[in-house]
Structure formats: structure tokens, C-alpha cells
Amino acid sequence: MKNIEIVYTPKLLPLYDLKGKTVVVIDILRATSTMCVAFETGIDKILPVSTPEECSIFKDFDFLTAAERNAEKLPGFDMGNSPFEFLNPLIEGKKIAFTTTNGTKAIKLARQQEAAEIVIGSFLNIDAVERYLIEKNRPVVLLCAGWKDKYNLEDTLFAGALAQRLAGEDEQEDDSCIAGIALYEQHKNELEALVRKSSHARRFQLLHSQTDDVSFCLQMNYTQKVPRLSGEYIIS
């Protein structure tokens, strides 16, 4: 596949034309990883929403609510943004309204710019996403959610990993794509070590979380689901 671009942060997305393209939204720590877990557990659908206030409203309409800001679960919501919270079989069949610092914002931006399709990517579903993109055969934009509009390592590593699989032997024309593949190539045998150096992973360490979300989110192929946007909802 020749036409692959990596967008390192949502701030750069307005520079790209998304018409006719499939956008893969990537927020490895943790929104898109957590969404993959939620669908594997068996939820019905996810409604990505912009603000915690908006998210709260959906408590009245038979939704579970999940809200995270600055890597922490917000008080008053059913869940935060840790994949471990979405392993609970009691969420099976439920609708979830979901707001996070970076991931849900990236999804909404891609939608505003009229991408042909928006899918949710993470190491947890990398094989399934790869197959899906090859089958659809559209130009692909890999959109890193980043951290508050800044570049981050873990999203770039995943974008590089996926770009490399899709590119095969084709020379890439996009500078971001060439650099993303190079970063992944150099670190593919020590992904976790590099991600633990990232600013976001260090942010988790400061929070003294009881679960090892970093190592969970770097597992390959936990699920074969390919969550994707359909109207306002993410379904699978």
C-alpha cells in the first residue's frame, strides 16, 4: 500500500485532506486500547463525547459513563480510562458514554473533517486493523492522539508498526510515515522499555496506579474486533 500518512498530533490534522480516506485514531495510553477491551468484553456501543459535563447527561439515558482527565478517573463516573475497568463482565451489552483527555477529541476532529471512515487502532487489535485496511483499500491516515496536542512516543510507535505492515516493500512518500517506521524498526524488540521512558508513562508512575496499564496496552492481538465510527457511535 503506497498512500499512508501519519499525523503526529490532532493539532496538525487541519493540514490534511481526509476525504475518501480511512482514518485510524490511535491513543495507545489508553483510550483506543481501552475501547478495544470494552468491545472484546462485549459492550453494545460507545458514544464519544467532548466534555465530562456532557458525559454526565447520559447517566439519565441508561448509559454507563467513563471519564478521564490528565490520566485520572473523574469522580462521579462509573469508570475512568483504564483497560482493567473494562474487563468487568457486568458491562456486557451496555452503552457507554466516554470522554478522555486526548482520544475522544481526536475521533471528533476526524469526523468534522469528513473522513470516509474512522476506525480505532491499538496494539490490542493490530492484526485485525491491518486486515481491515487492506480489505477496504483506501488511502490511510494514521492519527496519533498525542498528549494535549503534543507529539508522543507510544502513539508514534504504533503508527510506525502499522505503517510498516501496510507499506510492505513500497517506498513511502510521507516524511512522517518514513520517520514513524524508522522509530518502530529501531525499537521493535524493546517497545516497552521505550514506552516507559515516554512522558505519559512517567505520568502514570506518578499516580501510583495499582494496575500495569502500560504493559497491558502493549499486548498484541488481545482482540480481533475493529471498533469504528457509525454516525455518532463507535460500534464493532
Residues of this chain that interact with a copy of itself (CB under 8 A) are: 8-9, 11-12, 15, 147-153, 156, 171, 173-176, 178-179, 182-183, 185-187, 194, 197-200, 202
19/202 with CB nearer a copy of itself: 202
65/101 with CB nearer a copy of itself: 101
116/182 with CB nearer a copy of itself: 182
Cβ-based neighbours of 211, under 8 Å, separated by 6 or more: 82, 84
Can you read off the three cell numbers belonging to residue 111? 469526523
Residue among 133, 147, 132 at smallest CA distance from 27: 147
Beta carbons of 32 and 46 less than 8 angstroms apart: no
Can you read off the three cell numbers belonging to residue 95? 452503552
Minimum CB separation of residue 228 from a copy of itself in Å reads 26
Minimum CB separation of residue 200 from a copy of itself in Å reads 8
Minimum CB separation of residue 198 from a copy of itself in Å reads 5
Rg of the chain on CA atoms, in Å: 16
Minimum CB separation of residue 24 from a copy of itself in Å reads 17
Beta carbons of 191 and 90 less than 8 angstroms apart: no
Minimum CB separation of residue 197 from a copy of itself in Å reads 6
Helix (H) or strand (E) holding 55: helix 52-57
Angle between the 103-112 and 31-41 helix axes, to the nearest 10 degrees?
Answer: 90
What is the distance between the alpha carbons of residues 148 and 65, in angstroms, rounded to a whole number? 22
121/146 with CB nearer a copy of itself: 146
Minimum CB separation of residue 39 from a copy of itself in Å reads 28
131/197 with CB nearer a copy of itself: 197
Report the amino acid identity of residue 165. Answer: R
99/198 with CB nearer a copy of itself: 198
What is the distance between the alpha carbons of residues 3 and 176, in angstroms, rounded to a whole number? 12
